[in-house]
Each structure stands twice: as structure tokens, then as C-alpha cells.
Amino acid sequence: MTLVSIIVPCYNEQESIPIFYQRVDDILEKFKQQREDLSWEYWFVNDGSSDETLKQMTYLQVGHPDQVHYVNFSRNFGKEAALLAGLKQAQGDYVAVMDADLQDPPELLPTMIETLTTSDYDVVETQRIDRSGEPWLRSKLSQAFYHVINGLSLVKIRPGARDYRLMTRQVVQAVIDLPEVNRFSKGIFSWVGFKAKVLTFDHRDRVAGNTHWSLRQLLAYSLEGIMDYSEVPLSIASWLGGLSFVAAILGMIWIVIRALLFGNPTAGWPSLVTIILMLGGLQLLCLGILGKYVSKIYLETKRRPQYLIKEKR
């Protein structure tokens, strides 16, 4: 039998889980008529939800104990931790990662499974090519993020790339073996490489509930991704410091020449204050960039686990 594990990180998805399970199961049951060797399991990961998400997982697990499993965290550790926990629990020959809100079309699963089992591809990735249903500002910021990270990093990420993918066991093990605490899955999936096929789809609205990602969280997540896979911000800070030093030297030379040729008609305190504020802000910016990298080193040296499991079934 060919076992496919489906990893579903969940945070406050009580309305989506039953719909998700029914939709995916119907599609795979229909596909099983063509692939009699196919079997599948679900690993739902409850990332410290405050609603009835865990109860919905329990209902499914009791009703389908051999097929449905769940991991319950002790608190909210974030989607990256939930994804990693699911990958570690999965037993399948092939492992899929999906969101419970059905923005990842499950209709692609049969094609993904058929591709990996009948070709030499190691990964089937998905890419969203249309953002018409998103707010304008969020869509533009997302596009800008991909331009920035691909311009700064050697690890390239496809614009619109989703975590939704199907991987062979070899790829899953490579992702699990990466030891870092600060994880950015889109970058990790790109960094490990392997031969990948890309499937595209248009934007889909959530099947139920509301998004749990605020604009501030998305901006913070984007910044984490850039700093995890690029050292360019440190180089930018160094260049800014060097340019500021050169500008200060040129400014001093100009002040001396002007004083010798034309005298000093004004006291110049407004310009002096402006320069001090500019250089002070530049120094704080550079210190902030350096501090972010130092904080990442600090978190890595602690070697704390990415998550704590309260219950597993």
C-alpha cells in the first residue's frame, strides 16, 4: 500500500475542520477507485487554539481512530512549529501539507500523488497566481516581499508559493534534519532543493471563519524570512555607516572652505541639530539590524524545543 500523510496545522479552525475532512476524504475515496493501493492518514496539529478546534479533532479521531490523529500543543507556538510537529509524526511514504481553510484546493491531491508515484519528481509544489480576493494593500506588500527576498537572498522563492505541497519521505527527512529554531518554511523548502514540479491555481476564499494573520504579523513574518536567508541587511548597515562617514567628512571640508571664503554669516544650529538627528537615527537603525541577528543567535544557543506536546492520539 502507498500511504499518504496529510499534515494540517490548525489555530482556531473549529468551523473549517469538519468541512476540510469531508472534502478531502471524498476526493481521495474517489481517487482510490483508480489507485487501489492508496491509503491515507491525517495529522491535525492544534496550535494552542482558544475555540473548539481540539474538540473537533477529537470527534474525528474517535470516529476514525485508524486514519485520523492529532497533536495538541501545550500553548500556541506558531504555524512553523505546528508544521514541523506534523512532519515528525507523519508515517507516510508521501507527505502533504495543507491548510484547514481549504484555500489550498484539495482537488489537486490526485494529480500530486500521481505525479510523485509515476515520475522522478521529489516534490510537487503549488503556486497561487491570482490574488484578486485579497485586500489591495496586502497583495502589494506580498508582491514586494517576494521581490525583496529574491533580490537579497541566494535562496529563491516563487512569488505566490504556498506551503501546500506533497513530498517524498527523503525530502521530509531533509526538512526535519535542519536543526534551526528560527524556521521559515518557504525558505527551508527551497533551500533543501530536490526536483520539484509546480502546480498553479487561482485564489480561493476561506471556506469558514476569518484569517488569523494580521497585517502586522505578516510584516513581522516577512522580516523574519528575509533575515533568516540573507546577510544583506548587515551589509546595508555597513554601507550606510560608511556613506555617512564620507558625507560627514565632505560636509566638514565644505564648512571650512565656506568659512574661509565667505565667513560664517549664520550660526547653523538648525543644520547641526538635523545632522545629529539623522546620524543618530542611522546608528539606531544599524544597531537594530545587528540586534535582530544577535537575538536570533541567542535563541539558537538556548536550544529550546520548538514546541511542547500536551496530548497525542
DSSP state of 243: H
97, 107, 105, 9 alpha-carbon torsion, rounded to 10°: -30
Q: Is the pLDDT of residue 153 over 70?
A: no
Give me the pLDDT at residue 134, please.
Answer: 63
Give me the pLDDT at residue 306, please.
Answer: 81
pLDDT single digits (tens) 122-151: 888 888 877 666 656 666 666 666 666 656
What average pLDDT is seen over the chain?
A: 77
The span from the CA of 71 to the CA of 90, in Å, is 11
The number of beta carbons lying within 10 Å of the beta carbon of residue 8 is 26
pLDDT single digits (tens) 232-282: 666 666 666 667 667 766 766 776 676 677 666 555 655 666 677 667 767
Helices (H) and strands (E) in the chain, counts: 10, 8
Mean pLDDT of 67-91: 88
Query: Residue 167: left (phi > 0), alpha (psi -120 to 50), or beta?
Result: beta
Give me the pLDDT at residue 7, please.
Answer: 92
Q: Report the predicted TM-score, pTM, of the whole model to 2 decimal places.
A: 0.70
